[in-house]
């Protein structure tokens, strides 16, 4: 492995911790640094798409190409920020913000509270939305959803069936085929689901 935590100073660790809103403990950040160095084989300071794909478990994931668009060329700070979307720890600061909203704007109680559903880290929604929003225009259309479903199901469902499925569930949820969804729509639709989104960082 070669790289020890002596390459990472206390100041660096704190800076990274700030950047990810304290989603990880300092020990976890050191652990992630070891992992980053392990993946970044040519020590270029960032992990290339190829280096990510050398992890077989990642390469066989049907969404790997979409995630690579977000991951390619990230330096360590950004890498940790990305992974903080999957951290089970929500920062105290964001919790306070949530309570703050509830007191000051009771009218928006019904809208804001589901948005800041306490269990789900805001960044997770952003990542999830960005997987769908391929051209990054802030809107997810029927074609975007179709594209993701294609990646997830491959040749095991016909294209026609995929379109049928999506049309049906969209209509049932009150949308039309030419509707487009934004981030807050996603949060509302998925807000009450049991989303599985926590990843544990092993500490060496």
Partner 1 sequence: MGGLDSSSMETDLDRPNIEEYLTTETIREVPKKLHLSDLLDISPTLTEAAGAIVDDSFTRCFKSNSPEPWNWNIYLFPLWCLGVVVRYGILFPARVGVLALGWIVFFAAFLPVHFLIRGHDKWRRKIERKLVEMMCSVFVASWTGVIKYHGPRPSRRPQQVFVANHTSMIDFIILEQMTAFAVIMQKHPGWVGFIQKTILESVGCIWFNRTESKDREVVATKIREHTQGVDNNPLLIFPEGTCVNNHYTVMFKKGAFELGCAVCPVAIKYNKIFVDAFWNSKKQSFTTHLAQLMTSWAVVCDVWYLEPQYIRPGEIPIEFAERVRDMISVRAGLKKVPWDGYLKYFRPSPKLTERKQQIFAESVLKRLEEK
- Residues forming contacts to partner 1 in the complex (CB under 8 A) are 1-2, 4, 32, 35, 38-39, 41, 52-53, 55-64, 67, 71, 83, 85-86, 124, 127-128, 131-132, 145, 148-149, 152-158, 161, 165-166, 168-170, 172-173, 175, 186, 189-190, 192-193, 195-202, 204
CB of 39 to partner 1, least distance (A): 8
Listed in sequence order, the DSSP H helices in the chain are 10-19, 26-39, 49-53, 56-59, 64-71, 76-83, 92-104, 109-115, 122-132, 142-153, 159-172, 183-190
Closer of 46 and 58 to partner 1 (Cβ): 58
**Cβ atoms within 10 Å of 80's Cβ, excluding its own:** 23
Nearer CB in complex with partner 1: 58/101: 58
Question: How many CB atoms within 10 Å of residue 115?
Answer: 17
Q: Closer CB to partner 1, residue 81 or residue 102?
A: 81
- Find the shortest distance in angstroms from Cβ 25 to partner 1: 14
Q: Is 47 helix (H, G, I), strand (E, B) or coil?
A: strand
Quick one: DSSP state of residue 201?
P
Whole-angstrom distance, CA of residue 21 vs CA of residue 68? 23
Q: Minimum distance between the CB of residue 99 and partner 1, rounded to whole angstroms? A: 26
Cα 50 off chain centre by: 20
On the CB side of 66, how many CA atoms lie within 13 Å of its CA?
Answer: 21
Q: Whose Cβ is closer to partner 1: residue 11's or residue 56's?
A: 56
User: In the bound complex, what is the minimum distance in angstroms from residue 194's beta carbon to partner 1?
Assistant: 9
**Beta bridge partner(s), residue 181:** 140
Taking the complex as a whole, the smallest distance from the CB of residue 6 to partner 1 amounts, in Å, to 11
Which residue number, 106 or 114, has a Cβ lying nearer to partner 1? 114
For residue 116, give both structure tokens. 């800041």
Nearest distance in Å: CB 164, partner 1:
9
Closer of 136 and 193 to partner 1 (Cβ): 193
């Amino acid at each position: 492995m070669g790289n020890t935590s002596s390459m990472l100073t206390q100041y660096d660790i704190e800076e990274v911790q700030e950047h990810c809103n304290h989603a990880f403990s300092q020990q976890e950040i050191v652990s992630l640094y070891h992992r980053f160095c392990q993946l970044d084989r040519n020590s270029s300071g960032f992990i290339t798409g190829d280096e990510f794909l050398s992890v077989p478990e990642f390469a066989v994931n049907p969404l790997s190409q979409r995630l690579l668009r977000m991951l390619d060329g990230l330096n360590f700070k950004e890498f940790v920020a990305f992974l903080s979307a999957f951290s089970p720890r929500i920062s105290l600061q964001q919790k306070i913000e949530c309570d703050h909203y509830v007191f000051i704007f009771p009218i928006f109680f019904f809208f804001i509270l589901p948005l800041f559903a306490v269990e789900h880290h805001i960044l997770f929604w952003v990542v999830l939305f960005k997987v769908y929003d391929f051209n990054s225009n802030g809107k997810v259309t029927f074609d975007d959803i179709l594209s993701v479903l294609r990646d997830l199901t491959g040749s095991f469902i016909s294209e026609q069936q995929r379109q049928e499925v999506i049309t049906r569930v969209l209509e049932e949820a009150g949308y039309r085929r030419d509707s487009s969804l934004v981030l807050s729509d996603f949060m509302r639709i998925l807000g009450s689901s049991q989303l599985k989104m926590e990843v544990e960082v092993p500490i060496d």
